Amino acid sequence: MKTVITYGTFDLLHYGHIEIFRRAKELADGGKLIIGLSSDEFNATKGKTSHMPYEKRKELVEAIRYVDKVIPEENWEQKKNDITEHDVDVFVMGSDWKGKFDELKDLCEVVYLERTPAISSTAIKNVIAELQAIEADS
């Protein structure tokens, strides 16, 4: 049994997120999956905004059967501390982050999972923005 951790905003939750959670939980081999959920304040430092505030996103992610614990992600630097504090065996991120977290390999195994094809939060946000623009023009 292992402890696995992954991070993200998980705004506009979709099937790709569920697949990441499912696959990360499989890597736990009967252990637990921790989600580091980006706080609204941290998202602001990244120039991102969420459609749902942190507390609502947290409730949504906690309701997913693969997830055992949700912790706030407040900054980039906390990952090393989280790995140590929660006795993490495997750090998981999507393949679009490949190589970005290799410095954590001295603390735990680092795995980059392939993204689910044909779906992304960015694509969904773009569709929403297009619909809002059409609505504004009406």
Q: Which residues are catalytic?
A: 46, 48
Per-residue pLDDT reduced to its tens digit, 46-88: 988 888 899 999 999 999 999 999 999 999 999 999 999 999 9
Domain assignments of the chain as residue spans, ordered by start: 3-137
Three-state secondary-structure class, residue 87: coil
Quote the pTM value.
0.85
The domain defined by 3-137 carries CATH number 3.90.1200.10:
no
Question: Which helix H or strand E contains 19, and what residues bound it?
Answer: helix 15-27
Q: What is the dihedral of CA 41, 42, 44, 49, to 10 degrees?
A: -90
Between the alpha carbon of residue 11 and those of residues 45, 91, 103, the distances in Å are: 16, 20, 27
pLDDT band at 126 (very low <50, low <70, confident <90, very high): low
Whether the Cβ atoms of residue 75 and residue 3 lie closer than 8 Å to each other = no
